[in-house]
Structure 1
């Protein structure tokens, strides 16, 4: 009888201990959950998987096939600057001079940046690869010419807006870049002459040119 009582007491003391050990992890998890703030935003994985664009069969990944798409969609390109010039022409046709001026300012900035970039790249390849250096210098001159064309059109728009104070500095910049002997430089100087900013026309009429004296001795 005594041994049976002892065995019952031992069993009765084991069951609550087992239950306590079973409930301890649950209590710990609930305590951690209750300790977290209510509005916690779940964190994304540190290195989420990046989808890889696999080319279709027969699709080439050569740079020559990618380059035209990049240039067509980029503003910092000859195509992007020319697109701005076309939009400015359409704005002038509809007498939207404010819109045209805005587009021409953007086009001028694009061509100027391109010219500077090509010039810097050409200088970097000087003495390393003559072919690449010459090609980049040619692009620098081409984009500089387009920049001056956009500048000239912008000066004409300012004249149409009756804003000569904005047109004169642009015309002077063109002459400094193009030189007075080139066609665009002469056009810019003619605009300055029409505005009254300069007094003497250029090129001068033949009647204004000094005549050369013949001072040779008679034979």
Structure 2
């Protein structure tokens, strides 16, 4: 009786084990294939950005960047087109934006020049030169904005801009002279500059 019971138990255990063995045989290849198709990434491995070029990593060097010389010059060109179309409201907006861009650039370059002074004179001199160039562009945008205000019969808005140009440029420089001439034509100042004839004072500032 004991032998018979043992045989019956073995048969049951055998039937129970066969389906489990079949299931393991069916699913095992899929598990291996899944691991082979997606191997784990190596630690500290940096994946390259596909389609990325060096220039794309320097956004302020792109033509569509606003905080750049190219961005300010694009605004000046758009303002010129607006003036040609007699769209003075758009021209004023573009010139105000250009003036702000150039002013910010000039201030930033000046701060960098001061920061590198005595540390790296090459960088300091380069940034100082850029500060001067962008300040010149700012004053040119300011002058064009003053002309638009004058064309709109708004001398009260043009005068402060012209005075700012003279203070920035110096009256002896070309843009400073043009700004003072505008003040004279508007009647804000009485004496022309430079003076002509015997009343012309000698000036060493060039």
For 2:69 and 2:139, the matched residues in 1 are separated by 14
With the length of structure 1 as denominator, give the TM-score of the two structures.
Answer: 0.67
Tell me by how many angstroms 1:72 deviates.
Answer: 1.5
Match runs of 1:17-36 below 5 Å: none
1:168 is aligned to 159
For 1:104 and 1:69, the matched residues in 2 are separated by 20
In the alignment, is the contact (CA less than 8 A) between 2:61 and 2:68 conserved in 1?
no
Give the one of 106, 127, 148 matched to 1:115: 106
Tell me by how many angstroms 1:74 deviates.
Answer: 1.3
For 1:143 and 1:69, the matched residues in 2 are separated by 15
Tell me by how many angstroms 1:206 deviates.
Answer: 2.1
Note if 1:84 corresponds to 2:75: yes
For 2:80 and 2:118, the matched residues in 1 are separated by 42
For 2:201 and 2:115, the matched residues in 1 are separated by 48
With the length of structure 2 as denominator, give the TM-score of the two structures.
Answer: 0.71
For 1:98 and 1:121, the matched residues in 2 are separated by 35
For 2:102 and 2:144, the matched residues in 1 are separated by 14
CA 1:69–1:168: 2 relative to 1, 3 Å: closer
User: Partner of 2:83: helix, strand, or coil?
Assistant: helix
In the alignment, is the contact (CA less than 8 A) between 2:99 and 2:138 conserved in 1?
yes
After superposition, the CA RMSD in angstroms is 2.2
**Corresponding residue pairs, total:** 157
1:198 is aligned to 189
For 1:69 and 1:200, the matched residues in 2 are separated by 45
Give the one of 151, 164, 172 matched to 2:142: 151
For 2:193 and 2:172, the matched residues in 1 are separated by 9
Q: Deviations over 1:53-91 (max 9, x none)?
A: 6245xx754xx6743774322101000000000000000
CA 1:130–1:65: 2 relative to 1, 3 Å: farther
Give the one of 111, 121, 124 matched to 1:133: 124
2:92 is aligned to 101
For 2:48 and 2:138, the matched residues in 1 are separated by 38
1:25 is aligned to none
